[in-house]
């Protein structure tokens, strides 16, 4: 009990001592502050203050250097907190801008395709109507697409169809507001064609794959890899001169009368979006009588001059030959329809 009483007494004395020290320090500080204010930048108080500042300056500098990284970390944590708060907003804005950019790019591509169709229409003076591809079908060699225009837009069975690059096929069936187009790659497709450079005549047929076969081109004609193949205009179904494709291989089997010619389609028939349906073909856009006679002479292996001489001065036989050629071409394209 005595020791406990002594301890309590000591604590009270220690506490009261601390209070007295604090009071004395406060009084001294007040006196110094008063003297410093009265003396200004001169006098003993100012001198003492200068000495104290000189002593503590290195300590303050060292403290600022030591704690500066921690201040930076505090800023980093503050920024990270702010970034987390705005991250979702930035992500939403980024997604919106990406969607807007994709939409603008799609619109630009559509405008480019439509511009190509208009250029084709103008270059060949074509009469027709534009349509949008709504679906496609590939089944056992039959390759077709469906478009969103039909009889109400003047479309009929047998009409040729192109995109901005070249011929893609022919209308095979039609309804009031839609139609089906059989593509040139279809096995039942056939188009009267010719090699643009040499005017060698033939029949371009689908293979059911991504290539075409140019048949009935006599081996005495000139054909080379890279030659362009265009419509000949025979039969009056397709306007002459429309691009069909490019020759990729030419072979002449031993003893054969005709070449085996493979052609790459000009149009990307697997990626069609907008097309142009040709609703009318003028006489100027069809093969002339002379061109029909040239085609027949190639088939018979005779020159156009000898074919003309055999026709007689009135040209009756040539007209018949042209009609025959047109008839065979029509029959071939009739299979396509």
Give domain status of residue 203, yes or no: yes
pLDDT band per the 50, 70, 90 thresholds, residue 246: very high
Supply the pLDDT for residue 58: 60
Q: What is the residue range of 224's domain?
A: 190-267+281-336
Span 158-162, average pLDDT? 95
14 vs 16: CA distance, rounded Å? 6
Who wins on pLDDT, 149 or 143?
149
What is the pLDDT, as a whole number, of residue 98? 82
Q: Which of 31-45, 53-67, 152-166, 307-321 has the lowest average pLDDT? A: 307-321
pLDDT digits (tens, 9 = 90+) for 88-110: 777 777 887 888 787 787 677 77
Average pLDDT of 239-249? Answer: 96
What is the percent of the chain where pLDDT is above 70? 62
Res 303 pLDDT > 50? no
Task: Note the pLDDT of residue 333.
Answer: 40
pLDDT at 335 over 50: no
The reply to whether 330 falls in a domain is yes
Q: Which CATH number goes with the domain that contains 262? A: 2.40.10.350
pLDDT above 90 covers a percentage of the chain that reads 37
The pLDDT of residue 111: 75
Query: Would 320 be classed as within a structural domain?
Result: yes
- Determine, yes or no, domain membership for 183: no
Q: What mean pLDDT is reported for the chain?
A: 75
- Is 108 within the bounds of a domain? no
At 124-138, the pLDDT tens digits run 889 999 999 998 766
User: What is residue 326's predicted lDDT score, i.e. its pLDDT?
Assistant: 36
Query: Is the CB of residue 225 less than 8 Å from the CB of residue 263?
Result: no
Residue 285 domain flag = yes
At residue 87, the pLDDT reads 78
324 domain-assigned: yes
Using pLDDT thresholds of 50, 70 and 90, give the confidence band for residue 238. Answer: very high
The count of domains in the chain is: 1
Residue 190's pLDDT is what? 93
Question: What pLDDT score was predicted for residue 135?
Answer: 85
Joined together, the tokens standing for residue 22 give 């604090």
**What pLDDT score does 271 carry?**
81
pLDDT surpassing 50 at residue 168: yes
Give the global pTM: 0.61
H/E/C letters for each residue in the chain? CHHHHHHHHHHHHHHHHHHHHHHHHHHHHHHHHHHHHHHCCCCHHHHHHHHHHHHHHHHHHHHHHHHHHHHHHHHHHHHHHHHHHHHHHHHHHHHHHHHHHHHHHHHHHHHHHHHHHHHHHHHHCCEEEEEEEEEEEEECCEEEEEECCCHHHCCCCCCEEECCCCEEEEEEEECCCCEEEEECCCCCCEEEEEECCCCCEEEEEECCCCCEEEECCECCCCCCCCCEEEECCHHHCCCCCCEEEEEEEEECCCCCCECEEEEEECCCHHHCCEEEEEEECCHHHCCCHHHHHHHHHHHHCCCHHHHHHHHCCCCHHHHHHHHHHHHHHHHHHHHHC
CA atoms within 13 A of residue 285's CA, in its CB half-sphere: 17
With beta carbons less than 8 A apart as the criterion, state whether 191 and 204 touch. yes
Within a domain: 228: yes
Which of the residue ranges 75-84, 181-190, 233-242, 322-331 would you say has the lowest mean pLDDT?
322-331
């Amino acid at each position: 009990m005595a020791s406990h009483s002594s301890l309590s007494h000591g604590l009270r004395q220690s506490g009261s001592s601390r209070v007295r020290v604090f009071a004395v320090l406060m009084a001294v500080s007040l006196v110094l502050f008063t003297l410093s204010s009265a003396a200004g930048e001169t006098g003993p108080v100012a001198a003492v203050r200068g000495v104290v500042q000189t002593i503590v300056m290195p300590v303050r500098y060292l403290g600022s250097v030591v704690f500066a990284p921690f201040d930076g970390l505090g800023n980093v944590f503050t920024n990270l907190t702010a970034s987390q708060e705005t991250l979702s907003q930035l992500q939403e804005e980024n997604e919106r801008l990406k969607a807007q950019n994709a939409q603008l790019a799609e619109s630009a591509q559509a405008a480019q395709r439509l511009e190509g169709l208009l250029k084709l229409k103008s270059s060949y003076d074509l009469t027709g109507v534009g349509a949008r591809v709504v679906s496609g079908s590939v089944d056992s060699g039959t390759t077709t697409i469906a478009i969103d225009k039909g009889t109400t837009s003047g479309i009929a069975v047998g009409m040729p169809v192109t995109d901005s690059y070249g011929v893609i096929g022919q209308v095979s069936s039609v309804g009031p507001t839609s139609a089906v187009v059989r593509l040139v790659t279809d096995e039942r497709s056939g188009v009267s064609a010719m090699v643009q450079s040499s005017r060698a005549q033939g029949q371009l047929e689908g293979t059911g794959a991504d290539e075409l076969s140019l048949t009935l081109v006599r081996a005495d004609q000139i054909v080379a890899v890279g030659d362009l193949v265009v419509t000949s205009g025979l039969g009056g179904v397709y306007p002459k001169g429309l691009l069909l494709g490019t020759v990729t291989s030419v072979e002449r089997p031993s003893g054969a009368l005709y070449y085996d010619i493979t052609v790459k389609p000009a149009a990307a028939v697997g990626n069609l979006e907008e097309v142009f349906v040709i609703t009318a073909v003028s006489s100027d856009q069809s093969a002339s009588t002379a061109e029909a006679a040239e085609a027949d002479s190639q088939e018979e292996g005779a020159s156009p001059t000898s074919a003309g001489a055999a026709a007689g001065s009135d040209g009756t036989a040539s007209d018949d030959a042209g009609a025959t050629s047109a008839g065979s071409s029509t029959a071939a394209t009739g299979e396509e329809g």
